[in-house]
Amino acid sequence: MKVATEIRDDERALFQRELDAFVPSVVFDAHAHLYDQSQFTPDSFAWPQRDDIPARADLTEYRRLAGLMLPGRRLDGLFIPMALDGDPATVNGFIADQVRGEPRCRGAMVVRPDMDPDYVRQEAGRLRMAGLKCYHFLSKRSGPGASDPTWEREIPEYLPEPIVRVADELGLTITLHMVKLRALADAGNQQAIRHYAERYPNMRLILAHAARGFNPHHTIEGIAALAGLRNVWFDCSAVTDCGAIEAIVETFGHERLMYGSDFHVSHFRGRCVAIGESFLWLYEDSVDWSTAMQTDLQPILVGLESLRCLKLAARHTHLTDAQVEDVFYNNAARLFELT
């Protein structure tokens, strides 16, 4: 799979037909990754992608590429390193450099589970970070490539409580892409989120990917367990089914939902489909698209598929235009105190 650096005519036409009237003129992208490939090492999980993605995706390149998908929109966001397993000082410093002088942009720094909380506190202050980003992969106990899958990790294994305490002290967001097979339908995930949210009320938790709702049934099943939490938000990045987004709006109200692209994932072509108790990403080169009998089938940008689902969810939950503007900008503006 390759990151699209140009948009096809059929994709442009689809945007105009289905999405142009839906997407507001100002957008805050609550989940977008920036990087420079010099941050990758042969051990890093991003390394195998290096030939398929631009050498550097800084804020300028993000705005150029995201602007192909969202033409004419003012684009700001919460930016997260892509090289999550790169040198923390380097990748976090890169994000800080990108958002400095951008009053409507914010940065999230990578935190590794073994980081000293004092270091996190100092770096967040020094780099003026608005948020933290944890990742299950960083809880790997042995060397990269070793057989230590992290997809079943409990949240405290990659987001230890002392780091949550720092977020609470500093009023930081934490972008959490939870794992385990059943995601939000998993009792361990529910308990950890509730515990952190209730014990650390000044920490603001952003449950990425509609609470990892790539299989919407998990978010639909589990979201009631989080009802009433006052410091939990959701981004809908890279979600290509509408059920999880609807469940969020129904349980938490549209004020807790934020648009996110998951750039650069938004610029792969394909989509995610729920299958059984899990999900599968279908990419340009992972499926034989010619087996579609009825037409010359071409996958489109993940980001466009995701926007279509957000639109459908907005329609099913009867959001007004003003509420859609909240999802795309105002909810984030309140959370991040944008001026």
- In the complex, the residues that contact Zn ion under the rule CB under 5 A are 262
Residue with the shortest CB distance to Zn ion: 262
Q: How far is the CB of 20 from Zn ion (least distance, A)?
A: 25
CA dist 282 and 299 (Å) reads: 9
Residue (207 or 319) nearer to Zn ion, CB: 207
Residue (261 or 323) nearer to Zn ion, CB: 261
Residue (206 or 335) nearer to Zn ion, CB: 206
Q: How far is the CB of 79 from Zn ion (least distance, A)?
A: 11
CA dist 217 and 274 (Å) reads: 8
Residue (88 or 319) nearer to Zn ion, CB: 88
Q: How far is the CB of 33 from Zn ion (least distance, A)?
A: 6
In this structure, what token pair is assigned to residue 72?
């004419």
Q: How far is the CB of 208 from Zn ion (least distance, A)?
A: 6
Residue (14 or 136) nearer to Zn ion, CB: 136
Residue (76 or 262) nearer to Zn ion, CB: 262
In this structure, what token pair is assigned to residue 269?
């072509």
Which residues, including other chains, have CB under 8 Å from residue 35's CB and lie 6 or more apart? 46, 56, 57, 81, 82, 83, 91, 94
Q: How far is the CB of 237 from Zn ion (least distance, A)?
A: 6
Q: Are 201 and 191 in contact (CB under 8 A)?
A: no
CA dist 149 and 153 (Å) reads: 9
The CA–CA distances, whole Å, from 256 to 75, 137, 234, 250, 333 equal 20, 27, 6, 11, 12
Q: How far is the CB of 13 from Zn ion (least distance, A)?
A: 28
Using alpha carbons, select from 314, 223, 238 the residue that is nearest to residue 279.
238
| Identity of residue 98 | Q
